[in-house]
Each structure stands twice: as C-alpha cells, then as structure tokens.
Structure 1
Amino acid sequence: MSVCKSVLILISLLFSVSLVQCTEFVPVFMWSSNKVNEKVPALHKISQDSFKDDVLEHLKENPFVIVFAEQTLSPEDFAQRDQKGATLFPNLEKHKKNSKVSYLPYVQNPIKALKHLGEEVTEISVSDVTESLQFPLTNILIVDLNDARDDEHRFDMLKRHDAAVISIYKEIAKKHNNILVLYTAHHTSWVAPEDVVSSRKIRSLLAVNERSVFVKNNYSLIYYSEASFVLDKSLNTNGTAVTLNFVDEKENTSIILTGTSDQLQVRFEFSSSTSVGYWILKEVVATYNNTEYNLNSTALSDIYALTTFSYHCGDQTFTGENTNFELYFSAFQVQLFFDGIGNVTKFSDAYDCVGFTSVPIWSGIFVTAVLLLIMTLGITMMMDIKTMDRFDDAKGKTITVNAE
C-alpha cells in the first residue's frame, strides 16, 4: 500500500507541475467598434474561463473578430522606453485613450480560450495579410505576428507590429462595421519567479527572453538587455545595436570580463578587496576600429557590491570623459565569484544603482525638517511668553516705579 501511495503522490505532483507550466498570463488589448468595454482592475488576473465568457458576450453581436498574436509579450513590454523615452506602442497608447478599449494585463492563455469557443478559427501569417490585404471568411481570424528578422532588435519589431496592427485594423474597418480586435500573445516574454529563502522572497533570474542575454562563465554571471553603442552622442542618433559574447578570466585578485562582437569589444576589469569583503569595477575599456575608449559609469555611485551580492542597474550607461563614445544597456546585472562559480545559476540579492535615499525620499525629509523647525520655533516662542505677576489694587496703595 505504501508503494501505491508513493506512486499516486508522484503522479499528482507531476500533473500539478505540468499544469503550472502550461499556464501563462499574458496581456490583452481588446477593443470593439460598437461596444464600450468594461473597466477592470489593473492588477486583476483573469482566468481562462472568465476571459472566455467575456468574449462570448461580445460574440452575441456577431462581430468580425481579429486577433493579433505575438509570439511573446508581457506587461513589462508596455513599460519599456527607448533611448529617447518613447514607448514601443505609440499607436496602441493613443488608441488606449478611447473608451472602447480595455487593457487586461494578466489573462490566462487567451489564445487557447479563443480556440475553445466553438467558433471557426483561422490562423494566418501577418506577411500574407500585409501583402494581399485579403481576409478569409471566418468567425475568428488569428494573425500571427511571426515575422521577426535576424538583424532586427525586438524593440524595433514591436514598434513595427504596433504600426501594422493599426494599419490592418483601418483596412478591416472599411469593410466591416462591427469589429472586435484583440492584441495578445501565445507566451509571456518575462519570467521572474520568486523563490522563498530564509522566510522571505527574493527575485532571481530563471529564464531569458528574446531581447535579453544571460551568460554564465567560470567566475561571473552577467545579464544584459538591449545593448547598443554611440560613437558621437552629440548627434542624438539611435545607438547601434550589438550583441556581446562574454568570457572571463582571473588575474591575481582581478577578474577580466570581455564582451566581443563583430563591431565592438568591451573589457571590464573587476578587482576584489578581501580585507573589506567587496568587489568593485576598476576599469572599462571599449575598442572600436582599433580605437580604445576609456569609459566610466554614469550612475550616481561606483559599480561595486559585497562578495556575496550582485550589482544591478536599469539604463546603465558607460561614457568617456573626453570622447563622445557611449555604451548603453537598458538593463545590466553582474556578479563576480573569485573562488569559482560552482553550481550557481542565479544572482544573489543585488545592490542597485539607484540609492536608497532617492529624490522623493530626500524631498520628503526636507519638507518634514522645515515643518519641524517651524513648529519648534513656534513652541519655543510660546513658552517664552511671560505673564504679569503684579497687578494694581484699586483699594490699596498704587504701584510706584521710581525712575532716576
């Protein structure tokens, strides 16, 4: 009996793990040309069945349903900005202001829910749609945005898809009066589960999406996203995208981390101070066309951390003091292991380039200090007020003050 129970427990665990792995929450942009969509809480997770019921309510009006499906998409993608601060979805953001648009940040398997509605579903590539602008006669049309290019950044691909979605929608609007449009994805692009360590939660890097690179070497872990460099930053041009392949080597008390590509080579030198238990970035040298550029971090503080910690920074930029060369990472995290990395596959807790006392915190401290100073002065002045201790008695002798 004990063996049978063990087998049943093992089967149930495997089944539960498989259910977890097949469940993904992805964002959904949904709008209708006729019906005003209901607003939903921004952080509310919608189950597959609830989303299915919502779509069925829209189908009662017999709309033409078109679904634009990315391969991967996450709510974090809508928060991303390029080097000029522009969003990746300018057209969808403008369309989002319309009262007929609903943005659902976490929907469980929306594509699977649409395929289980019992309606006729047809899938077609976006390249076929843009070439002919002909749409099959079907109840639900899924347009797969699967035209990624080898030499294209994912940022640029999402911007191009944003323009294609609105363009195709306008063409459909010329032929149909009642349209239901959805912009979603098959899978999530960001996976950052939380592990419980010492009765508290910490974030760790588990998987890498298409626009991110995670490298494990002998003595280092490094993660970066959207790397680019600019030769002349005074021209305010977009950076040249680059993918760096990192290798490391140990030299005495230093670790040399070298990233190379067809166009650029970047050399990071990290040194260890065993007496105080810290490691620090000592030098950054970029080489382009046999020209070396000595770079410094533009962060508020040096790049350093305890030997058991990692360093993380969003929008990490390295620039030269006397040159216009600039190296940019939209996200950057590194950790050094001077004794060898062993079986480590994820980062430890991170020192962040944004200090603990940020500008809003300093502003609050300053305003509070001013108010406390005013209150202290007011109370001090009130306590210094002295009342009269002698009064004139009408029946007695008058008070006389001798003045010489």
Structure 2
Amino acid sequence: MAESRIHARGRLFSFILLFFVGLSSVNSTAQVPLVIWSTDSLPPLPSPSAGHISSDQELAVYLRPVFASGPHTVLLFLQEKLSKDDLTHYGGVFGNKQDSAFKNLEAALRSSSSVTFPALEWRSPSAVTALLEAELGASPVLADPDTLSHLSIDTSVNNLLLINLPYCSDSLKSCKELLHDNDEVLGKALSVLQTKGIPYISIFTGQQPSRVISETAVPQEKVGRSLLQAVAPDVKPPIVFNSTGNPCIMLWAQNLNVSVSESTGWIDLAAQTPNLTGSTCSSSSSQLVLRYPSGHVLSFSMSQRFYPVSARNWFSLDTVELQVGGVTASYVGSRGIYAPAEYSFRCQSVNNFQNALLVMNSTNQSLSQWRLNFIDFQIQGFSLNNGTNFSYASDCASFFTPAIWMGLLTSLLMLLIFVYGLHMIMQLNTMDRFDDPKGPSISVPQSE
C-alpha cells in the first residue's frame, strides 16, 4: 500500500514537471562522448562535476601537453552519430553490460591508459577533426584497416589517421549489429598498428550526437519567490607578487578593513587594486607591500627558519605595518601566526582588538585607536607551486574548541556516573539466612 502511494506521488510529480517543461522555453544541449586511449601513459583527468559538459577549450588544454611530448600517431575513429546512450545501451563502456557491441573498444580501454570525456560540447561535425589538425599540425588522412596495412607511416612526424564509421539511422541492419561491425573495424585497425610496432593515441567519438538532451531554459531575472536558491558570489583573484617571473607571495582576503579614527570609520582596502612596489622575496624572508590609491600602505613581513625539533622549515608572519599619511603603526603576532613552510596560513579573522592575533609594537598612544580586521585571511610567502592556488592551509583555529571541551567534560561526567552506578550494583549482596517456613512458629504470649 505504501509502495503504491509512493508510485502515485512519483507519477504526479512527473506530470507536474512535464507540464511546466512544456510551458517553459526549451533549448538543446548537443553533446557527444569522447574516449581516448594510448600505448603510452596519459595524464589523469580531474573528475568532472555531475552534469558538467566539457568544452572544446578543455579538450584542447588536456591534449596540448600530451602532443607536446613528441611526434605522435593519432588514430581518430569518427562515427557518423554517437551519444552516451549508445555506449551504455549497446555496450559496457559506461556500465557492466555482458553482451556488449563494443568488445574491442572495451578491451583496448582495459589494456591501456585511457581517459573519458562523457559529455563533450558539440558544435559542428568537423569540430574534433579541426581541433586535432590544429594541435598536431598535420592534415587528416582517410584510412581503413586494409589501407593501414599497406600504408607507410613516418613516426618522426605527427600523423592524423581518420577512420569514418557509419551509424544505424539509415541502415538495414539493427543498431547493435552495425555498432558491432564498427567495433570490428576498430579492432582490426588497432591490430595493424600493433603488428607494425607503432605507438599510437586513439580517439573514438561522433560527428554529431544521435540523441539531443533537452533542458529547460533558466530565466535570468528573479521572478517571485524561490526555494533553495543560491547565487554564487563573485570571487576576486588573490594578490600575487612575482619575482623573476615566478610567483613567490600570495595573499587573499574577503575584507581588509582598517580604521584610523572613529570619525572616518572602517575602510575595506580589499575593494581597491594595490600597487606591489617595494615587495621582495627570497628563500629566507619575504615582504609584501600593498600601496592603495586611498593612500594606505599595508606591509606583511614573513620569514622562514628550520626547527630541528620538528625537522622541517616553518614560516611566520612577523610584522604587519599600516602606514597612513606618513605615520606607521607596527603589529606583531601575539599568539603566533605561523605554518609549515610548504603550507599557507589561513584564519577567519585576524585583528588587533578582539581575540587579537596582532599586538601593536609601538609606545605611541595616539595609534591605539587604529584598528585592523582581516576577514577570511590567507597568506603564503614561500614554496608556491603556481600562481593560481594556495598550498594546503594551516588554520588558526585550534583543534580543542570550547564546544569540544564541553562535549569531552560532559562525556567524562556521564562516564563517572555510569561507573559509580555500576560499582553500587556490584556491591549488592544476597541474604545468607532465611526464615524456615517448616519450623515451629513463634508464639507470643498475651497477657490479660
């Protein structure tokens, strides 16, 4: 009974969804799968998010370092039409189908290094061919297994061999039979190259999708109320200082709030674009100087040292200086702003007035009203691998927070109560003497 109600609700939901889809404007998202395998090792491909459609640029970015390693022979199997459903329904490329029409393709993927683009954006029938032609600098040569066996291939230059495969739309054969024949052609072509001892990179894709997935268009303007709606905020890039062409200091903060008096209030320097003149870095020390159009100058001085106890290098943010109108206030880390040298340092709030990580290093009392408050602050002054990403972050939040301590103490108290109760139960003893019901009864004389 419960199952029938669930199915009824599912049918009702589907009907409502289809109704609104029919009322909405519909656009087509054309996509084709693309499978790459090679006799050599291919670099791994990051796992795409659910529903992600790869663009031509993403494919070009992936193939560029692969082709740059030297001359390659690329074998492109270009089927007239192909969609992921074909590989799923008729084969086990994206599943575990036993009676597969792509046995040679699946065997090649299992025996070699392979990468799969489940959904590649489709623009034109010759998009993939034109991309490979541009990256390889070689014109495509039409071939088939018979011509490949007699074709002389110069492995000292890039070669692009193109094998066209039909689709079952206008064929008298069933789709599975035709796809099986295409798979046989693929297997024979690979066997010819293996017999000749030619290393190759093979690509299997379609000239166009056999099925087009329709999806509703999302309106740009906000209409009425919406539930579970989240708008991704614009994320500004980090501040990067380069020395001799290589990034050596990186800083990012959601807000860099400074205040020099109560009358002027807070100023968010993160909303301005700084000038990095005066910044320096070396293997032992780094200094990031941010000169803002408003006249404020922020300076972050860092150093790294080797500590024998931990047998590793650590870096620390030694001083933070704020200069306004020729007056400079210097602050030092009171509770230690440090991290391993190959890490970055991150903290939700770095300030000098509440749970302060920064303490003024000056006797000038007129500067006591100056306030610094860096929100979602992250900095790295050493061991930068590239100029786009921080290394692993060492957070300023301690592991044993007040909530964790409260939970530990509460658990300990309950454990003590349990142990005490168990001890009391174990101390209970049974009676060693009982009244005998068969013995003489006790008589109590009564006096009148």
TM over 0.5: no
Q: TM-score range by the shorter chain?
A: 0.3 to 0.5
Q: Which has the greater radius of gyration?
A: 2
TM norm structure 1? 0.45
